[in-house]
A = this chain, B = another copy of it.
Amino acid sequence: MHQHIDTLTIGTSGQGLYEFTRQARGFVASSGIRTGLLTVYVRHTSCSLLIQENADDDVKTDLGGFFRRLVPEGMDWLVHTTEGPDDMPAHIKAALTQTSIGIPVADGRPVFGTWQGIYLFEHRHRPHRREVVLHLIGEE
């Protein structure tokens, strides 16, 4: 049994979904692991992870539109407002999605479905550098 661990840095420029499926596949391919478990973990609390359809960009637009409506800026009952109007909504959106996702690996590839992609879901407006840890355990 072997392990591999790496950190991916993703630059973001505002709210939205940033795909890193290719990098996740590359990490698994270069490890030589054929059967195992890939864990993807984001080290922040104002962005999150999501597996979603990567066939039609409109899906990304609508996901952003839904979360913006569900957790709008300017909710007047919020008390944590010192870091800007998008900060507390960002924490809430992160709580509603994922910080960590585990993906089995078979035949040397993550078992993503045909239309699945993996995304960093940025909830802040300003540019950020986000760290995503990739961990892989399995057999060659």
Partner pick for A113 among B39, B45, B52, B79, CB 8 A cutoff: B45
Report the contact-size class of chain A (Cβ under 8 Å from the partner).
35 or more
Copies of this protein, total: 3
CA–CA, A96 and B48, complex, Å: 12
Known contacts A96-B96, A104-B5, A39 near B37 by CB under 8 Å: yes
Residues of B contacting A58 in the complex (Cβ-Cβ under 8 angstroms): 79-80
Question: Residue A45 contacts which of B45, B51, B111 (CB distance < 8 angstroms)?
Answer: B51
Contact with B along A92-131 (1 / 0, CB 8 A): 1011111111111010000111111000000000000001
Q: How far apart sit A43 and B53, CA to CA, in the bound complex (Å)? A: 11
Provide the residues of chain B in CB contact with A43, threshold 8 Å.
111-114, 116
Partner among B53, B80, B96, B131 whose Cβ is within 8 Å of the Cβ of A56: B80
Residue A29 is within 8 A (CB to CB) of chain B in the complex? no
Q: Does A28 contact B (CB under 8 A)?
A: no
Interchain CB contact under 8 A, B115 and A45: yes
The interface stretch among A8-16, A18-26, A63-71 is A63-71
Known: A37-B37, A43-B113. 14 other contacts (CB 8 A): A3-B139, A5-B35, A37-B39, A41-B111, A42-B113, A43-B111, A44-B115, A45-B51, A45-B116, A51-B100, A52-B91, A66-B92, A96-B97, A113-B131
